[in-house]
Structure 1
């Protein structure tokens, strides 16, 4: 095990857990194989990478992540109303159903149906964790310079 701190230009092997503060686990690798990622490769959002900076192999911590450092605040203008005929006739539309659209750049944009009333369907395009305070637990297993063989 080396003493290299997590920084740009390092590959990190880690376990992490993301929880909604005070409870529900959103994602965890503690019961799986530990993933490796290169700092800055986009696998972890930049705000979450910032919490890893300076940690070394063997370090473990849990941080509280406020919405503005996580997935942003819930934005009411990200809820849009569509007409029922905008969806295929055989599609089940009820609150909680995830639907997917293409945005202006043809990227997939998922939304969650929040209301179905008459011919109107409300879809929330906020990230499901927007507005939530999260707990990010991380355990660093190994830190290597990028480009070293695994």
Structure 2
């Protein structure tokens, strides 16, 4: 039976979850993921665990924050904003995701930020990705191998 080797193109299904079993990503057989090992965009630990797998085999991998694409939580991505800057149309609530204007490279971009704390005269927003700082658990099943 064929096994995955470096540089092969593979088709997989996967389920990504947090330690509390919250599922953050599901790729199933109706729309599987196909990629070539070594490509950017697929976490290296996922690519490494695929090497040696056979069609139909399932493996699990855990990606620590330091290894993952979302990284560790960064304190410099927290910002306190005066409540007076908010329009009356927005009622701040913890967990609410806002679209904030951020300047970078001479241009203004819309960036998501989550309200993490509400004080009497200000709110604290977090620009970290929601998965930053969390170990990510993946269950990967190999559907097909397309040899290089």
- The interval holding the TM-score normalised by the smaller chain is 0.7 to 0.9
Q: What do the CA deviations read for 1:1-45 (whole angstroms, capped 9, x no partner)?
A: x8362534x432110011112522222223743232344253x34
- Unmatched runs of 5 consecutive residues or more in structure 2: none
Work out which of the residue numbers 16, 19, 39 in structure 2 matches 1:18: 16
Query: Residues 104 and 19 from structure 1, CA distance in 2 versus in 1: closer, same or farther, beyond 3 angstroms?
Result: same
The CA RMSD measured in Å over matched residues stands at 2.7
What residue is the counterpart of 1:123 in the other structure? 125
Within the alignment, does 1:104 sit opposite 2:104 as a pair?
A: yes
What residue is the counterpart of 1:143 in the other structure? 145
- 1:1-150 equivalent positions in 2, closer than 5 A: 3=2, 5=4, 7-8=6-7, 10-30=8-28, 32-39=30-37, 40-42=39-41, 44-70=42-68, 71-101=70-100, 102-105=102-105, 106-144=108-146
Q: What do the CA deviations read for 1:60-101 (whole angstroms, capped 9, x no partner)?
A: 100122221223222222211112243343123110001122
Could you tell me whether the CA contact under 8 Å between 2:60 and 2:140 is conserved in 1?
yes
Q: TM-score, normalised by structure 1?
A: 0.75
Per mean C-alpha deviation after superposition, the further-off stretch among 79-88 and 49-58 is 49-58
| Regions of 4+ moved over 6 Å | none
Distance in structure 1 (CA, Å) of the matches to 2:94 and 2:20: 25
> Which secondary structure state, in structure 2, belongs to the residue aligned with residue 69 of structure 1?
coil
Q: TM-score, normalised by structure 2?
A: 0.76
Could you tell me whether the CA contact under 8 Å between 1:98 and 1:113 is conserved in 2?
yes
> Which secondary structure state, in structure 1, belongs to the residue aligned with residue 4 of structure 2?
coil
Query: Residues 31 and 63 from structure 1, CA distance in 2 versus in 1: closer, same or farther, beyond 3 angstroms?
Result: same
